[in-house]
Chain A
Amino acid sequence: MTPAAWTLHPIGAIRSPWKTKEQCPIQGAALQQALGSVELDPALEPGLTDIEGFSHLMLLYRFDRAGAIELVRPTFLDDRPHGIFASRHPCRPNGIGLSIVELVGREGTVLSVRGIDVLDATPLLDIKPYIPRFDLFPQASNGWVEDKGWRDKPVGRE
């Protein structure tokens, strides 16, 4: 049974220093030290048992302030267009974001994380532990990103 459409409800919120899209850094470099937090629904606290043993977490969230979907578009790192499935850009079908962050502490249902590239008050959909056996592929190619130097976000680019 494949659902034609399926409605998800947030289980918490991601808090970060990034209040606007302009402030929010491009994923990856230059944000290693950015501190934020993940505030989970207090009713789900038992689900966080054992989580402190993991140094990194995968956050799935909703790009709730993304603009219109464009299947081929210039990205933050390149003025040439790329297919949306070859990019991590927010304006994508289904609007789900994925960020991997470092877990630095927990108090109840509030997780302190480092390396956050998510807008403040973003709806959280799921937390998964980062498990190198499944998720670590250091030799994977960087595709079109490989020869892109780092740069600031182009002004006005959604």
Chain B
Amino acid sequence: MTSHPRRKPEKSYTAAFAGTGELTLTPIGLVESPYRERFGVPRQGTLDGAGRGRIVLNPGANFEQALQGVAGFDMLWVIYGFHLNSGWNPMVTPTRGPKVKRGLFATRAPHRPNPIGLTAVKILGIQGRTIEVEGLDILDGSPVYDLKPYIPYADAFPAARSGWLDELPEGPTGPDRPS
């Protein structure tokens, strides 16, 4: 990474941290999904009845209690690990549109410096420490690190622009490029 020329003097971004900044994650559970291979996983969030599966939290950790009140929400953010991916590049070629490299942070590509995934899923039901969900685009067996309620006032921005996705001839909701 140090080979990229710097156009500006280095900012004191690390000196700004109040703490060490390092974060050690421990899974709170696992995703059970129909997707066993990376190539079989759909692009995220179609919510057309696809991607049914479960989030199973670890036993013996009182996570049943931690789910109190979750059933009152329709949608849930799942924060998980892209655990089969390693390595990353600052420029990537998305699976949508023409074969053009885009800046990594302008994509949802799984190969990232901190390969954390974020997907909004629909809650179908909760029993004990198991949540039935729809709209999964997550590999079976992926480690789950957090669940947060989707709250429209904090998470819904109807006027948001989708950058290069909006500019595709087929529009922002078109299919992947044929391989």
Contacts and interface: CB of A to CB of B under 8 A. Distances in A.
A25 to B, nearest CB: 11
Contacts of A47: 90-91, 103-105
Given A28-B153, A88-B148, A123-B21, A46 B103 contact: yes
Nearest to B112: A126
A126 B113 contact: yes
Interface in A51-83: 51-56, 58, 60, 62, 64-65, 71-72, 81-83
B148 A8 contact: no
Given A58-B118, A83-B65, A137-B150, A123 B157 contact: no
Interface string B136-147: 000001110111
A50 B13 contact: no
A54 B7 contact: no
B67 A83 contact: yes
Interface in A1-59: 1-13, 15, 27-29, 39-56, 58
A96 B116 contact: yes
A39 B13 contact: yes
Nearest to A82: B69
A141 B118 contact: no
Nearest to A81: B68
A83 to B, nearest CB: 4
Interface of chain B, helix or strand or loop or mixed?
loop
Nearest to B17: A123
B66 A71 contact: yes
Given A28-B154, A94-B28, A141-B72, A128 B162 contact: no
Contact of B11 (A3, A11, A42): A42
9 contacts: A42-B11, A49-B101, A64-B19, A85-B63, A94-B79, A128-B105, A134-B108, A135-B120, A138-B158
A3 B83 contact: yes
B53 to A, nearest CB: 16
Contact of A5 (B16, B24, B69, B164): B24
B107 to A, nearest CB: 7
Given A55-B159, A96-B25, 16 more contacts: A2-B81, A5-B26, A7-B23, A42-B10, A55-B157, A56-B157, A72-B65, A82-B68, A94-B28, A98-B79, A109-B8, A109-B11, A131-B162, A138-B156, A144-B72, A145-B149
A151 interface: no
Contacts of B63: 71, 85
Contact of B70 (A15, A86, A99): A86
Nearest to A127: B105
Contact of B73 (A2, A6, A54, A143): A143
